[in-house]
Amino acid sequence: MCLLHDVYGWKDSDGKVQRKAKDPREGRVVATLRYEWYWMWNQHYNPSQWIMVLDARDSYFQRNPFADLPRRSNPEGMTQGLLYFFGENTEATRLGKSTKNVNWLRNGYGAPVLDALRTKPTICSGSTMGEQIAMEQYLRALVNEKDESSIRMTGADQGFHNYLYYSHKLANVLAIQSLTVFEQGYGLINNLGALRKKPLSEWGNLYNNRTHEVFNFDGTLSPVVHQWDRDKDLFHFLFKNKFRDVQQDWERRKKEMSVANKS
């Protein structure tokens, strides 16, 4: 369990830290604590800038997910922003079909909330995008869900994430212009985890096992692939090829930097 000791504090008029604060809350698992760090990092961006929070371990990019996002022609003084959530496959799973989701919701909110959400599509907490002004409010809200809950389980952030959406807690937040949930295979981030019951190549046109590319259901290349390691073929391809290429590129860059520093 982790605490945020000495992260917050008090500064004088010149910006010098006068005193640091101890975290009075109970410890949180890293998977939950990260949202408070996300919130802190979020403060360094302008209101109109797009931000993505993503599970890094099991994600990779096939093309730039920020290339075709809507941009503000006049962001000066903007007070609202867009927020994007990304779902898991509704044919393969629902909140009530997953033991983990059931436990997160039951332990976080109780049986009545679990029963109300059993048949709802699962929204993935490990992949979210939004304009800074909207993301700030979402991240603040998710941190608050933990502060109001006694649940200590790793992964509980998924319960918080789904509860925030289905309870409509974010619906009246003034800084969030709109909240869009993209179904699996129709958004900028393609969540594959729920599809592990059979090979990706058997889910329509989602995966080309010759080129090892992942597609959305409309035939376009998925910009971001999340939870790639659940599919055996894609897993082995990435480990044998992509990871090797990345490592070789990194070694080459290190040598170039070493030579540049010596000259």
**Residues 157-196 pLDDT 10s:** 999 999 999 999 999 999 999 999 999 999 999 999 999 9
HSE value, Cβ hemisphere, 13 Å, CA-based, for 17: 7
Distance CA 17, CA 8 (A): 10
Question: What tokens appear for 111 in the block?
Answer: 């049986």
User: Is the distance from CB of 80 to CB of 165 less than 8 angstroms?
Assistant: no
Q: Which residue has the higher pLDDT, 262 or 203?
A: 203
From edge to edge, which strands make up the β-sheet containing 123-131?
50-54, 123-131, 81-87, 176-182
How far apart are the C-alpha atoms of 88 and 53, rounded to whole Å? Answer: 16
pLDDT digits 0-9 by tens, 54-100? 999 999 999 999 999 999 888 888 899 999 999 999 999 999 999 99
Joined tokens for residue 230: 């659940």
* Cβ neighbours for 69, distance < 8 A, ≥ 6 positions apart: 50, 129, 188
What count of other Cβ atoms lies within 10 Å of the Cβ of residue 240?
A: 9
Kindly provide the b/e burial profile for residues 148-186, where b requires at least 16 CB atoms within 10 angstroms of the residue's own CB: ebebebebbbbbbbbbbbbeeebeebebbbebeebbbbe
Q: Where are the domains of the chain?
A: 22-230, 232-263
Give, in words, the CATH class of 22-230.
alpha beta
Q: What is the mean pLDDT of residues 20-35?
A: 94
In Å, what is the CA distance from 41 to each residue of 52, 136, 160, 211? 12, 10, 20, 36
Alpha helices, H only, 148-183: 156-166
Tokens of 196: 């592990």
Place of tokens 């949202």: 35
pLDDT at 223 over 90: yes
Phi and psi at residue 85, to the nearest 5°: -110, 160
State pTM to two decimals.
0.90
Average pLDDT over residues 216-229: 95
In 3-state terms the chain splits into helix, strand, coil percentages (rounded to 5) of 40, 20, 40
In angstroms, the CA 143 to CA 219 distance is 37
